């Protein structure tokens, strides 16, 4: 077998093992180990085991993920979410899918500030999903909206992915930031439209709440509305005014949640312990997948499969639209297994010369590329946002349900993408004015 | 036969360009016998996993950033620390290359890891790049700065600067939003590396040294299995690629300064008082370096290494003044004459 | 086997408690660092390094066995229920073989790495010198235990008639018996 064949065989074996219900991180890691040994040699495969796990995990910037998980768990354990969602139920009760739409807005805002999909999913899975389930929302809708809304964080500035893309392709980060706003908002609007339409057509998805509330109930809800907004605004405000960085924001968020809970006297020692243990459990189960995925990305790079695929798909196409469609296909395919940054690193050197040859605007393409890469965060079999939600909620939801729920958002994204591709002005209007 | 060369630096970075250049030359010189495929962007090996990666043969050639693994390369770390006193990027890069080959303490450390040192390079000279108009070190008081070495911190905190840890991916937004006031970086921070031209207000051109912490290393077995002729051919290619890479870096630095001016970033020249203070700091710093390195890193006395490095930097500054530093042939000839031709390919790296 | 189950269970809980302590320490440490930086212009030196090298490694590797104790590792159960119990048992057994192999590989390599790290008294050299070798032992500790846990699960799957109960995901910690027991 040549290395390309080993790469393809690796993907097939991984798919089979995942279907047989072996743990996702284990599958990725073990297939990567075998594949790297087959392509190079045993010593090299052991070398990867030394080089990756500890060094990948020991990153300051990754620490935001467990800290946002902790924030979410504490907020949920201490009931910081009750008042806001009770009020939302009263106000939005009759709007089809109202809670899901509100969640999309809130987590898109949060994601835009934190700049990380995974961190947002970590924060909101415990904050929003159980509240929606309480209102009898189908778990696919409840989890899908959190998984998908997180992906908007990379589109709406600031965004680490846009920064990396800008540096990597030598495109103005300022222009990319400005360009991302409208497509980001458009994506959120499209999500909300989809949620509303689907819930309107199928009321079992998100039952409307037609219970009448007494004055006292309404007052009680309203009086307790502040904790969650205070928490989220505290985190967002601190990031935007530069008091702390997005990496530090997770710990601040957790600390702030504890403070607010202490103010409300709603935090028991037991609840803290539970939140902390659950955070540890969630952190381990998510990052073992991330380790496997990182090893798998090395295996893919070594197999030259992404290059071969790019070459195969792009060599014989010469219109801009056809190229973009091919790249979309390529990114969605690679996005099944490989993380956003690795895909960018592996493909941009091949893609960029082609795009430059065609005179494609790299700001426009950047927004489309980021949108495509973020879709990979919620596609099976390896969709990190989905796994974050699953690990936060345990057996309360099934993984298949989350992927199924996310699929509606992916379809919506495809509509948005089509608009962005057909009408570059949507993306380029604002940066044009700024010039 | 196909081999692998890796760098954790991204595709298109000076390191990636260097590896491609080297690979092309070697392929041609050996009629395709030695064919390197390049894996940039850390897709093969992460920055702090490069050393075991080369030693175990994941890649046969890669650049190691010793600063990330100081306890594996404590001796190399001494030269990195010393590079705070450097103010000429090319002289630093070539001095580091020379010392890497000929200083016994350096060679002992490298060979202890089953690696073969093959050449070096240096990032540019660091300056404070700030979100406000910095025109004197006194303006650093109370400012949050991102630094790259302990010595930079020591220097900056004298003036009340507050050192902070910011991941590389957050430098841009940190400067933009004020969670960071300054980043100490070379000219390419403004363009290729972090595009700070878009958010910075000023660069204070007080040369705060560099970070001569990089080097290129080969897998020991790979090296031993090549014929002496092949090893000579690789040295020829390494010498030329090193020259081209550093000349290219230099050109990029010049372009970055022009781009900065075009972007309205003030390039403030350092005051005489600040230059004098820096010179005084450097003198004291070098004088106590050997002792502080022994205390900090538990290594044998590095006095000889420090003397070699200081002497080599002076020597290269002199040599480079005699040639046109944009002339590839001239710089390559210097590197051959002073370094690569002096190495015996029958014995080097084979003990 | 009952004794072995008990021992591994206790060890897994001990480690997850330790991981929890490190997570709390991480939150506290970063909050203090931000506060001292903002109010006093005096950040705590080495915060980023300690967070990355100690707290993160502890938070990821120490709870692995606990994850296994509660069967909450992430797997895709799309096709699982379509199979007959006999096949399901084979699938579960295969999963544990895979997981035991992977965790053992990692455990073995990380043990060697930790010993090497200890030998060279490994440190990093950021704002301050931070000794990082002690934290490299989090990996072998967590990984060997999860490898043993996987082996136990494999044995249970092959031997016990109630294998499917033993290997099924526990309910979330804030509801139900299993959760409380797990703590
Ligand atoms: Na964002
Ligand atoms: Na995916």
pLDDT of C159 reads 92
Tell me how far apart the alpha carbons of residues B212 and B341 are, in angstroms, rounded to a whole number: 23
Q: Which of B44, B130, B145, B259 to mutate to test the interface with A (most CBs of A within 10 A)?
A: B44
CA–centroid distance, residue A374 to ligand 1 (Å): 12
Residues of chain A with pLDDT below 50 are: none
Handedness of CA C82, C84, C86, C89 (dihedral sign): positive
Min distance A82 CA to chain B CA atoms (Å): 33
CA–centroid distance, residue A88 to ligand 2 (Å): 32
Min distance C33 CA to chain A CA atoms (Å): 9
A82-92 vs A227-240: helix axis angle to the nearest 10?
100
CB-based contact (8 Å) between A352 and chain B?
no
CA–centroid distance, residue A283 to ligand 2 (Å): 19
Query: Least CB-CB distance to A26: which of C77, C98, C110?
Result: C98
Tell me the residues surrounding ligand 2 (ion) with CB < 5 Å.
A 335-336, 376, 379, 382-383
CB-based contact (8 Å) between C23 and chain A?
yes
Q: Do C48 and B165 touch (CB under 8 A)?
A: yes
pLDDT of C114 reads 96
Q: Which long-range contacts (CB under 8 A, 24 or more apart) does A348-353 make?
A: A348/A165, A348/A168, A348/A169, A348/B11, A349/B11, A349/B12, A349/B40, A350/A307, A350/A310, A350/A311, A350/A314, A351/A310, A351/A314, A351/A327, A352/A169
* Ligand nearest to C-alpha A381: 2
Tell me how far apart the alpha carbons of residues B131 and B133 are, in angstroms, rounded to a whole number: 7
Q: Which long-range contacts (CB under 8 A, 24 or more apart) does B257-264 make?
A: B257/B187, B259/B190, B259/B191, B259/B197, B260/B187, B260/B190, B260/B191, B260/B197, B260/B200, B260/B203, B263/B190, B263/B197, B263/B198
Size of interface B-C (CB pairs under 8 A): 40
Q: Do C127 and B163 touch (CB under 8 A)?
A: yes
CA–centroid distance, residue C75 to ligand 1 (Å): 30
Q: Which residues of A touch C170 (CB under 8 A)?
A: 394-395
Other C-beta atoms lying within 10 Å of the C-beta of residue A398: 18
Size of interface A-C (CB pairs under 8 A): 205
Q: Which residues of B touch C128 (CB under 8 A)?
A: 150
pLDDT of C176 reads 33
- Contact partners for chain A, using 3 or more CB pairs closer than 8 A, are B, C
- Helix, strand or coil for residue A140? helix
- Least Cα distance to B271 among B337, B221, B216, B205 occurs for B205
Tell me how far apart the alpha carbons of residues A361 and A363 are, in angstroms, rounded to a whole number: 6
In this prediction, the answer to ipTM > 0.85 reads yes
- Chain A's closest residue to B44, CA to CA, is A298
Structure-token match 């409307």, residue found: A208
- Chain B's closest residue to A342, CA to CA, is B43
Q: Which residues of C touch B163 (CB under 8 A)?
A: 43, 45, 127
Q: Spell out the per-residue pLDDT of chain C, length 183, in tens.
A: 889 999 999 999 999 999 999 999 999 999 999 999 999 988 999 999 999 999 999 999 999 999 999 998 988 888 888 999 999 999 999 999 999 999 999 999 999 999 999 998 999 887 788 999 999 999 999 999 999 999 999 999 999 988 888 888 665 554 433 333 333
B46 contact partners, CB below 8 Å, separation of at least 6: A51, A52, A55, A56, B8
Query: Least CB-CB distance to B162: which of C43, C49, C117?
Result: C43
Q: Do B44 and A301 touch (CB under 8 A)?
A: yes
Residue A91 exposed, middle or buried by CB count within 10 Å (0-12, 13-18, 19+): middle
Confirm if B279 and B208 have CB atoms less than 8 A apart: no
CA distances from C129 to A417, B6, B150, C121, C124 (A): 49, 29, 9, 12, 6
Selected residues 287-346 of chain B with any CB under 8 Å from a CB in chain C: 296, 298
Q: Kindly give the residue spans of alpha helices, DSSP state H, lying in A40-137.
A: 42-51, 53-57, 64-77, 82-92, 98-114, 117-134
Confirm if A97 and A364 have CB atoms less than 8 A apart: no
Q: Do C121 and B298 touch (CB under 8 A)?
A: yes
Query: Least CB-CB distance to B71: which of C42, C49, C121?
Result: C121
- Chain C's closest residue to B143, CA to CA, is C41
B244 contact partners, CB below 8 Å, separation of at least 6: B18, B21, B328, B332
Q: Do C56 and A24 touch (CB under 8 A)?
A: no
Per-residue pLDDT tens for B230-274?
Answer: 999 999 999 999 999 999 999 999 999 999 999 999 999 999 999
* Ligand nearest to C-alpha A246: 1
CA–centroid distance, residue A114 to ligand 1 (Å): 6
- Least Cα distance to B81 among B29, B142, B150, B21 occurs for B150
- Least Cα distance to B14 among B243, B310, B282 occurs for B243
Per-residue pLDDT tens for A145-160?
Answer: 999 998 998 898 888 8
Q: Do A51 and B46 touch (CB under 8 A)?
A: yes
The residue ranges of every structural domain in chain A are: 3-434
CB-based contact (8 Å) between A168 and chain B?
yes
Q: Do A174 and B173 touch (CB under 8 A)?
A: no
- Helix, strand or coil for residue B202? strand
Q: Do C49 and B68 touch (CB under 8 A)?
A: no
CA–centroid distance, residue A22 to ligand 2 (Å): 17
CB-based contact (8 Å) between B146 and chain C?
no
* Ligand nearest to C-alpha A380: 2
Q: Which residues of A touch B49 (CB under 8 A)?
A: 47, 50-52, 55
Min distance B312 CA to chain A CA atoms (Å): 34
- Chain A's closest residue to C117, CA to CA, is A50
Other C-beta atoms lying within 10 Å of the C-beta of residue A230: 17
Tell me how far apart the alpha carbons of residues B12 and B18 are, in angstroms, rounded to a whole number: 9
- Chain B's closest residue to C42, CA to CA, is B162
Q: Which residues of C touch B147 (CB under 8 A)?
A: 127
- Chain B's closest residue to C37, CA to CA, is B162
Q: Taking phi first (over 0 means left), then psi (-120 to 50 degrees means alpha), and beta for anything else, what does residue C46 get?
A: left
pTM, 2 dp:
0.92
CB-based contact (8 Å) between B2 and chain C?
no
* Ligand nearest to C-alpha A407: 2
Tell me how far apart the alpha carbons of residues B51 and B112 are, in angstroms, rounded to a whole number: 12
The Cβ-side half-sphere exposure at A267, using a 13 Å CA radius, reads: 23
Per-residue pLDDT tens for B101-137?
Answer: 999 999 999 999 999 999 999 999 999 999 999 999 9
Q: Do C121 and B296 touch (CB under 8 A)?
A: no
Residues of chain B with pLDDT below 70 are: none
Can you give the length of chain B in residues?
A: 351
- Chain B's closest residue to C40, CA to CA, is B142
- Contact partners for chain B, using 3 or more CB pairs closer than 8 A, are A, C
């Amino acid at each position: 077998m040549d290395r390309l064949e080993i790469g393809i065989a690796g993907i097939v074996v991984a798919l089979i093992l995942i279907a047989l219900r072996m743990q996702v991180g284990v599958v990725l890691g073990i297939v990567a180990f075998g594949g790297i040994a087959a392509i190079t040699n045993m010593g090299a495969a052991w070398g990867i085991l030394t080089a990756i796990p500890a060094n990948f995990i020991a990153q300051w910037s990754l620490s935001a993920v467990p800290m946002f998980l902790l924030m979410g768990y504490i907020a949920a354990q201490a009931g910081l979410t009750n008042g806001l969602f009770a009020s939302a139920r009263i106000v939005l009760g009759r709007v089809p899918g109202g809670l899901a739409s509100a969640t999309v807005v809130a987590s898109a805002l949060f994601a835009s500030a934190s700049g990380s999909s995974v961190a947002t999913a970590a924060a909101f899975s415990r904050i929003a999903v159980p509240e929606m389930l309480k209102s009898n929302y189908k778990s696919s809708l409840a989890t899908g909206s959190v998984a998908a809304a997180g992906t908007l964080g990379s589109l709406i500035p600031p965004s680490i992915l846009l920064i990396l893309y800008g540096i990597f392709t030598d495109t103005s980060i300022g222009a990319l930031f400005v360009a991302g706003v409208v497509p980001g908002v458009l994506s959120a609007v499209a999500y909300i439209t989809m949620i509303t339409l689907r819930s309107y057509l199928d009321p079992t998805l998100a039952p409307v709440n037609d219970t009448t509330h007494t004055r006292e109930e309404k007052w009680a809800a309203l009086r307790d509305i502040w904790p969650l907004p205070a928490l989220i605004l505290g985190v967002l405000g601190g990031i935007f005014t530069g008091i702390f960085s997005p990496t530090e924001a997770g710990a601040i968020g957790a600390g702030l949640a504890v403070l607010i809970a202490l103010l409300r006297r709603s935090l028991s020692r037991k609840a803290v312990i539970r939140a902390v243990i659950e955070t540890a459990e969630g952190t381990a189960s998510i990052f073992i997948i991330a380790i496997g995925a990182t090893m798998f990305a090395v295996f893919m790079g070594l197999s030259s499969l992404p290059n071969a695929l790019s070459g195969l798909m792009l060599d014989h196409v010469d219109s801009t639209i056809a190229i973009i469609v091919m790249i979309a296909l390529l990114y969605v395919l690679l996005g099944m297994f490989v993380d956003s940054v690795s895909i960018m690193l592996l493909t941009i050197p091949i893609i960029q010369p082609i795009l430059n040859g065609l005179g494609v605007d790299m700001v426009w393409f950047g927004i489309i590329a980021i949108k495509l890469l973020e879709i990979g965060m919620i596609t099976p079999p390896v969709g990190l946002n989905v796994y974050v939600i699953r690990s936060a909620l345990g057996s309360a939801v099934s993984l298949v349900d989350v992927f199924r729920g996310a699929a509606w958002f992916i379809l919506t994204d495809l509509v948005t993408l089509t608009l962005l591709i057909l009408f570059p002005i949507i993306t380029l209007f604002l940066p044009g004015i700024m010039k | 036969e196909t081999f692998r060369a890796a760098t954790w630096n991204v595709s298109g970075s000076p390191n990636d360009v260097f590896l491609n250049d080297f690979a092309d030359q070697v392929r041609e010189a050996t009629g395709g016998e030695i064919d390197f495929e390049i894996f940039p962007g850390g897709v093969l090996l992460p920055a702090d996993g490069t050393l075991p990666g080369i030693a175990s043969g994941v890649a046969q050639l890669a650049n190691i950033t010793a600063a990330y693994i100081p306890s594996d390369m404590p001796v190399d770390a001494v030269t990195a620390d010393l590079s705070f006193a450097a103010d000429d990027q090319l002289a630093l890069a070539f001095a580091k290359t020379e010392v890497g080959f000929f200083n016994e303490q350096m060679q002992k450390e490298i060979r202890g890891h089953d690696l073969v040192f093959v050449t070096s390079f240096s990032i540019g000279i660091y300056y404070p790049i700030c979100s406000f108009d910095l025109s004197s070190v006194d303006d650093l008081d109370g400012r949050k700065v991102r630094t790259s070495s302990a010595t930079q911190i020591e220097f900056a905190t004298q003036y009340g600067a507050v050192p902070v840890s910011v991941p590389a991916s957050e430098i841009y937004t940190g400067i933009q939003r004020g969670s960071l006031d300054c980043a100490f970086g070379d000219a390419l921070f403004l363009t290729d590396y972090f595009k700070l031209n878009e958010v910075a207000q000023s660069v204070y051109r007080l040369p705060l040294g560099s970070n001569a912490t990089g080097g290129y290393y080969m897998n020991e077995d790979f090296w031993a299995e090549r014929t002496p002729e092949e090893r000579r051919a690789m040295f020829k290619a390494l010498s030329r690629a090193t020259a081209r890479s550093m000349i290219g870096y230099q050109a990029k630095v010049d372009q970055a300064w022009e781009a900065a001016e075009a972007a309205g970033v003030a390039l403030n020249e350092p005051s005489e008082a600040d230059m004098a203070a820096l010179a005084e700091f450097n003198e004291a710093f070098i004088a106590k370096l050997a002792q502080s390195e022994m205390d900090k890193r538990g290594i044998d006395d590095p006095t000889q290494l420090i003397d070699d490095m200081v002497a080599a930097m002076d020597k290269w500054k002199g040599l480079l003044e005699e040639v046109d530093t944009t002339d590839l042939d001239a710089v390559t000839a210097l590197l051959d004459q002073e370094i690569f031709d002096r190495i015996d390919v029958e014995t080097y790296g084979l003990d | 086997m009952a004794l072995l189950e008990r021992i591994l269970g206790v060890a897994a809980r001990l480690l997850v408690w330790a991981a929890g302590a490190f997570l709390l320490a991480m939150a506290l440490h970063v909050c203090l660092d931000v506060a001292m930086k903002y109010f006093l212009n005096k950040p705590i030196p080495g915060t980023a390094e300690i967070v990355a090298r100690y707290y993160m490694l502890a938070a990821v590797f120490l709870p692995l066995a606990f994850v296994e104790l509660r069967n909450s590792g992430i797997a895709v159960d799309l096709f699982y229920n379509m199979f007959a119990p006999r096949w399901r048992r084979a699938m579960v057994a295969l999963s544990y073989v895979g997981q035991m192999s992977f965790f053992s590989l990692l455990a073995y390599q990380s043990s060697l790495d930790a010993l090497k790290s200890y030998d060279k008294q490994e440190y990093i050299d950021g704002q301050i010198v931070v000794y990082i070798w002690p934290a490299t032992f989090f990996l072998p500790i967590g990984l060997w235990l999860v490898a043993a846990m996987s082996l136990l699960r494999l044995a249970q799957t092959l031997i016990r008639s109630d294998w499917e109960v033993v290997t099924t995901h526990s309910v979330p910690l804030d509801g139900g018996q299993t959760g409380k027991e797990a703590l």
